[in-house]
Chain A
């Protein structure tokens, strides 16, 4: 069965510090990986995706993610966190074997001033 794990329910970071939100996946076949962000009482916004090629993917709002095939991970990163980055972040995966996008349970990022 395909799955996505976000091992941390919450990540706390001081403004200006680098942030990492972790994601690991388990699939059969090549993964297509996505990150989304959700602000309170809003829909999800697409941040970035990995399809193929360069393992470092750059996305919206200064976020990037690194695909690591050997560790089956796709961690989200940002060099310098902003208070406005505080939100709920979802990792998701899909493969050619399925019609469905599988979501992790989400990680709440809290950036303190």
Chain B
């Protein structure tokens, strides 16, 4: 899983509560990404950031928020507005935003909301 850490590995929350997932990288990568993985659906992009203090919505940004105040950190907040938040969340980074750069993934956080 390279130099990307995600914490915690498992997270349980009650419906209606916001929760923040941590993602830290020590690879000196400029670009960072958040994906959601559900069984049989592959990975779907939530938010991405190509540089500090800037980020863009991905395909399924509703109900999520992010910040990128430091190069090494890209936390994801799952808000109560997210209708179906239970999923496996993956953070990734790449050396830069170029299309030829591969992404490196963290170990993931499994969020369960009841």
Report which A residues bind B (CB closer than 8 A): 9, 32, 34, 36, 41-46, 49, 51, 90, 94-96, 98-101, 103-106
Contact = CB atoms under 8 A, between A and B. Distances in A.
B109 to A, nearest CB: 10
Contacts of B50: 99
A44 B94 CA distance: 13
Interface of B: 1, 4, 6, 33, 40-43, 45, 48, 50, 56, 58-59, 90, 92, 97, 99-100, 102-108, 110
B99 A106 contact: no
Contacts of B42: 90, 103-106
23 contacts: A32-B100, A42-B1, A42-B107, A42-B108, A43-B106, A44-B103, A45-B1, A46-B103, A46-B104, A49-B100, A49-B102, A90-B42, A95-B99, A96-B99, A100-B45, A100-B48, A100-B58, A101-B33, A101-B45, A103-B42, A104-B42, A105-B40, A105-B42
Contacts of A104: 42
B56 A99 contact: yes
Contacts of B97: 99
